[in-house]
Amino acid sequence: MTKNFESRYFEDYKVEQEIHHSVPRTITEGDLSIYLSTTGSRFPINYSVEYAKSLGLQRLPVDDILLFHMVFGRTVPDLSLNAIANLGYAGVIFHQPVFVGDTVSASSKIIGLKENSNGKTGTVYVKTIGKNQRGEVILTYYRWLMMRKKKEGMLNSFENYVPDLPKKVETSEFVIPKNLMIENWSSKISGSQNFFNDYDENEEINHLDGQTIEEAEHQIATRLYQNNARVHFNQHVEKEGRFGKRIIYGGYIISLARAISCNGFANTFKVSAIHSGKHSAPTFSGDTIYAWSKVLKKEKINDRIGTMMIRTLASKNNSEMKFPDKNNLSENIVLDLEYSVLIPI
């Protein structure tokens, strides 16, 4: 019997199969520093201990997108080693904050399988649950990915099952951190005087700042999450693949888009949910990422905090702001993300 683990191929998954992922991860201040160095994020609540304390938080809260990556990274050996691409997300809910020193773990259920007509791949649909060291649910999400087959050809007696995925997360499921004293929020510290009432529905914002992706920094970021999917690291193999080189982890594009969006959304202190996400085109080292957003909907949570539903597009090597139809994205659009944030009123 071999000691190494080749992970699973499409044929190895069964609907309703549950997988408990290995290697829980304790999040440290060092992790936050590496995330900062690979994204340039400037949201102060996640990087200033003193500011977090002034807002009623006893410890430094982990950036929500970093938390997503840390949970996602637990799942990679069981779900992504033989994947060709991660295709999209739905129903991502940040159930409660995670702080420096907390330990995250994850489990997943296979909720759908579909063979692709090329006979070489299939699509795997999963629901993942992330928990902290107390067994409390901190994150849940759905995703689907394109998976290699062990053998080419259509399977005998196989029935496709494509699950119904949530179209959006309800506002009632959004969580405000306990003990948060939002009345102490400072526009001087955030660098912006734009709050909930300063935005209009359908307002479009160009975040301006482009970031060129270097091979090394992408690999450092992806290793930070313990995402060891081969398509991101093994140039020896990928030079013979369909692109001839390694592809950038799609989640890294989400991180860059969120970081870039600080120029325009500096007071959006928490991501509550990701309603839908689509990696519409691959990204490679040397590409420059731009981002722009549209405010789709606004709603007051209480008299001090509001929520905004936002559509953010990330573009490679093209800074011209456009909002094409979701089903007709131009080649430069690499990410189409709809999500909700909390912002002081």
Q: Residue 18: its pLDDT value, please? A: 98
Q: Residue 35: its pLDDT value, please? A: 97
Q: What residues does 89 pair with on adjacent strands?
A: 143, 277
3-state secondary structure of 65: helix
Entry pTM = 0.94
Which whole number is the average pLDDT over 24-32? 97
Which whole number is the average pLDDT over 325-343? 96
Gap between the Cα atoms of 249 and 194, Å rounded: 32
Given pLDDT bands bounded at 50, 70 and 90, which one contains residue 288?
A: very high
Q: Residue 259: its pLDDT value, please? A: 98
Q: Residue 325: its pLDDT value, please? A: 94
Q: Which of 13, 35, 76 is nearest to 218 (CA)?
A: 35
Indicate whether 119 pLDDT > 80: yes
Average pLDDT taken over every residue of the chain: 95
**Cβ neighbours of residue 113 under 8 Å, at least 6 residues apart?**
10, 13, 14, 15, 122, 123, 124, 125, 160, 161
Q: Which tokens is 304 given?
A: 């001090």
Dump pLDDT digits (tens) for 79-111.
Answer: 988 888 888 899 999 999 999 999 999 999 999
Gap between the Cα atoms of 168 and 248, Å rounded: 27
Which whole number is the average pLDDT over 184-188? 98
Gap between the Cα atoms of 37 and 325, Å rounded: 34
CA distances from 159 to 13, 15, 117, 122, 127 (A): 13, 11, 13, 12, 20
Packing angle of the helix pair 29-39, 215-224 (nearest 10 deg): 150
Q: How does DSSP classify residue 209? A: -
* 102 neighbors 95 (Cβ within 8 angstroms): no
Instruction: Tell me how many degrees the CA angle 60-210-246 measures, rounded to the nearest 5.
Output: 85
b/e 95-113 (16+ beta carbons within 10 angstroms → b)? bebbebebebbbbbebbbb
Domain 10-157+169-344: homologous superfamily in CATH: Hotdog Thioesterase (3.10.129.10)
Given pLDDT bands bounded at 50, 70 and 90, which one contains residue 34?
A: very high
Q: Residue 93: its pLDDT value, please? A: 98
Give residue limits of the domains in the chain.
10-157+169-344
Which whole number is the average pLDDT over 219-239? 91
Neighbours of 169 (CB within 10 A): 24
Neighbours of 85 (CB within 10 A): 17
At 238, the amino acid letter reads E
Q: DSSP letters of 269-303?
A: -EEEEEEEEE--S---TT-EEEEEEEEEEEEESSS
* 174 neighbors 340 (Cβ within 8 angstroms): yes
Q: Residue 125: its pLDDT value, please? A: 98
Gap between the Cα atoms of 210 and 208, Å rounded: 6
Q: Which of 28, 68, 343, 43 is nearest to 190 (CA)?
A: 43
From start to end of 46-166, where are the E strands? 83-94, 103-115, 121-131, 137-148
Question: Dihedral through CA 219, CA 220, CA 225, CA 226, nearest 10?
Answer: 70
Which whole number is the average pLDDT over 233-247? 89
Question: Per mean pLDDT, which range of 50-54, 80-84, 170-174, 322-326 is the poorest?
Answer: 80-84
Q: How far apart are the first and last CA of the chain?
A: 61
Burial environment of residue 90 by CB neighbours within 10 A (0 to 12, 13 to 18, 19 or more): buried
